[in-house]
Structure 1
Amino acid sequence: MHDRGISILEKYDLEASAASRGRGALICQTGQGLVLIREYYGSTRKLEYQAKLLEKISGQKEIHVDTLKRNKEENYITVDKENIPYLVKNWYDGKECDTQSRKDIMRSVKALASLHKTMQMPVWEHYVRESLLSEYERHNRELRKIKKFIFQKHQKNEFERCYLEHADRYLCCAEEAFKRISQSSYDRLRTVSLERGCVCHGAFHQHNILMWDSETAVVNFDNWNYDVQMADLYQFMRKILEKHGWDKELGKEMIQSYCEIRPLIKEERENLAVRFAYPEKFWKLANYYYTHNKVWIPKKNLEKLKKLISQYEKWLEFVESINTLEK
């Protein structure tokens, strides 16, 4: 985004005294504090729901969020002279969660638990997340399809050879996870979650968690959706644990920290355990390979695949340890 985005601040009765670039955005110091300006091309209706969600969270005052600002015409979206739509959000001068800091990790998990206690809204069907049963079934079909595709290739590159060598054991784990969730209480848990209007952040990771002093802010709710809230906790834990070699004690501490704020019921513990049993990262790498240029495989993707495979035994040990959550 170009600095000309600053010009829209006049439609908010704001003036920037300083500006710096953030992640695809512009952060400005104004008389009303820090604001963030960024382009927006999403749904206007979803944005209205998002604004209501953020207002509800900010009213609890436990966790800071990047509430949306209305312009002088009471709109959230402001179009500049070049017809580029922008959002303006309240922002915070904090550092991102350090994924190597246990203190930061636990603060983040507790912030998520506080959010989950608050994030409930009347359900808008268009933004209900796909059932995990449907998702796993679809992913498993894709894994089998990709395996067959690579197997039939006469000349295979290093990524393809590596993938094919380990595909069977990951596919076996994927099918077992699907079987487990099919026989679990997931359907009932999902039904109850939707009846209550439970909302997930949708992208709860270190880049969307800001910290300063004893305060924490969670930002960038663009991917919010209605779902079982264990989806957020699982995604954050998986990303952290991959970086820490599937440290069982760290995983246990993260769950305990979450439960200090929002205790988990038996069905949620069961659901969290099943999510960890599914080889999601393996599917993601396979899906990226299949849907992108297969002639040239990014070196980074091969490195990710090799790292994933090297952690296979540690991952299985973690899955086995977290299965006790179901009991």
Structure 2
Amino acid sequence: MYDYGLSTLEQYGLTAESTARTRGGLLCNTEKGLVIVKEFKGTEKKLQKQQELLLQIQSQGGKVDCYIQNQEENLVSRDRDGIPYTMQYWYEGRECDTRSKEDIFKSIRTMAELHQRMHIPTVEYYIEPSLENGYLRHNQELKKIRSFIRKRGASSPFEKIYLATVEDFLRDGEEAYAALRESGYQELRQKAETEGEVCHGEYNQHNVLILKSGTAVTNFEHWGFDTQMADLYRFMRKILEKYNWDVRFGKEMLKAYHEIKPVSKEEWTNLKIRFSYPEKYWKLANYYYTHRKTWISVKNTEKLQNLIRQREAWKRYCASFFF
């Protein structure tokens, strides 16, 4: 019977009074309080750097999911079947509710505080890929998918919608790429590397826990060195999509972040360019292209249709962006 890493508790000298399956792991109530056991799929070298980062954040007052060493002082333990697991401290709380603006503002302020604490000596191997190269590649992929559908013929609703809209979104992508190249992005990127600026990498509502007192941030597995505007953009984009790109709400979120961690003019410019790139459109197109074509998800077609409906609101938000 699969034990989800429960058998590794003995390597920590712990026993579980109760357990419960949760997103990505097994929650255990133990002598050390609430912990989470997760199957480990990364590299131990990066895990060690992640632990250093988490301990630094914790020492400065942040609530994060630090790892626990086993009795042999290792961060990774193997169960009876040789499967590697890790154990981390966890929190009694709930995920950020995206229907609650109060939760959203708490998450934004927590991110700003977190970013102030996330600076460690740069390790070249963990520097995030260039956004400039990413935009160039994505634009080329949009063209490739356009050619592919034209050649085989558009038969599904998704393919027909894509061909009818790709020119507009591709133009948006090329304008964003040109703006990025003309901006001070490379200098901003170099500054982030020099100062050891770290991004969470997957800062979203699932990884922010609202506690009785304060908030906790979890799941740093995708951390890397980059301008921290990448975190702010990713979180805000997903939220604003749910709020139909509400201009006023977007400005309130930016203000909440800026009041805690001031944003420079160069960072504002970078953030505006990130918002102006049609990332969601590219993601849906890329998913279509890299998956089975004989059956195209109705859900993805609906997402594409919703994206088209939001285009005007999205463009209005980008036009009103301030810095």
TM-score norm. by structure 2 comes to 0.98
Which residue of structure 2 lines up, in the alignment, with residue 281 of structure 1?
280
Task: Write the letter of the residue equivalent to 1:37.
Answer: V
Task: Write the letter of the residue equivalent to 1:178.
Answer: Y
Which deviations, in whole Å up to 9, do the C-alpha atoms of 1:49-94 show, x marking residues without a partner?
Answer: 0000000001111x31000000000100001110000000000110
Q: Are residue 131 (structure 1) and residue 134 (structure 2) matched?
A: no
Cα separation, 2, equivalents of 1:197 and 1:319: 29
Which residue of structure 1 lines up, in the alignment, with residue 294 of structure 2?
295
Q: Are residue 79 (structure 1) and residue 81 (structure 2) matched?
A: no
Deviation at 1:294, TM superposition (A): 1.2
Cα separation, 1, equivalents of 2:189 and 2:286: 26
State the SS of the aligned residue for 1:221: coil
1:309-320 matched pairs, under 5 angstroms? 309-320=308-319
Cα separation, 2, equivalents of 1:155 and 1:265: 46
**Contact 1:3-1:26 at 8 Å conserved across structures:** no
Give me the CA root mean square deviation. 1.0
Deviation at 1:3, TM superposition (A): 3.1
Task: Write the letter of the residue equivalent to 1:56.
Answer: Q
Which residue of structure 2 lines up, in the alignment, with residue 36 of structure 1?
36
Cα separation, 2, equivalents of 1:295 and 1:57: 48
Task: Write the letter of the residue equivalent to 2:43.
Answer: S
1:192-211 matched pairs, under 5 angstroms? 192-211=191-210
Which deviations, in whole Å up to 9, do the C-alpha atoms of 1:195-231 show, x marking residues without a partner?
Answer: 0010100000000000112310000000001111100
Cα separation, 1, equivalents of 2:119 and 2:154: 52
Task: Write the letter of the residue equivalent to 1:46.
Answer: K
**Contact 1:5-1:80 at 8 Å conserved across structures:** yes
Deviation at 1:4, TM superposition (A): 5.2
Q: Are residue 23 (structure 1) and residue 19 (structure 2) matched?
A: no
1:61-80 matched pairs, under 5 angstroms? 61=61, 63-80=62-79
Which residue of structure 1 lines up, in the alignment, with residue 244 of structure 2?
245
Of residues 279-288 and 150-159 in structure 1, the stretch that sits farther from structure 2 once superposed is 150-159
**Contact 1:19-1:27 at 8 Å conserved across structures:** yes
Cα separation, 1, equivalents of 2:273 and 2:317: 12
Task: Write the letter of the residue equivalent to 2:22.
Answer: G
Cα separation, 2, equivalents of 1:101 and 1:253: 14
How has the CA–CA distance of structure 1 residues 96 and 195 changed in structure 2, closer, same or farther, with 3 Å as cutoff?
Answer: same
Deviation at 1:127, TM superposition (A): 1.2
TM-score norm. by structure 1 comes to 0.97
Deviation at 1:173, TM superposition (A): 0.3
State the SS of the aligned residue for 1:301: helix
Task: Write the letter of the residue equivalent to 1:255.
Answer: L
How has the CA–CA distance of structure 1 residues 264 and 72 changed in structure 2, closer, same or farther, with 3 Å as cutoff?
Answer: same
State the SS of the aligned residue for 2:29: strand
How has the CA–CA distance of structure 1 residues 157 and 215 changed in structure 2, closer, same or farther, with 3 Å as cutoff?
Answer: same
Of residues 2-11 and 18-27 in structure 1, the stretch that sits farther from structure 2 once superposed is 2-11
State the SS of the aligned residue for 1:88: strand
State the SS of the aligned residue for 1:65: coil
Task: Write the letter of the residue equivalent to 2:29.
Answer: Q
Q: Percent identity?
A: 48
Deviation at 1:155, TM superposition (A): 4.7
Cα separation, 2, equivalents of 1:64 and 1:187: 32
Kindly report structure 1 stretches of 4+ aligned residues shifted beyond 6 Å: none
Deviation at 1:315, TM superposition (A): 0.2
State the SS of the aligned residue for 1:169: helix
**Contact 2:7-2:80 at 8 Å conserved across structures:** no
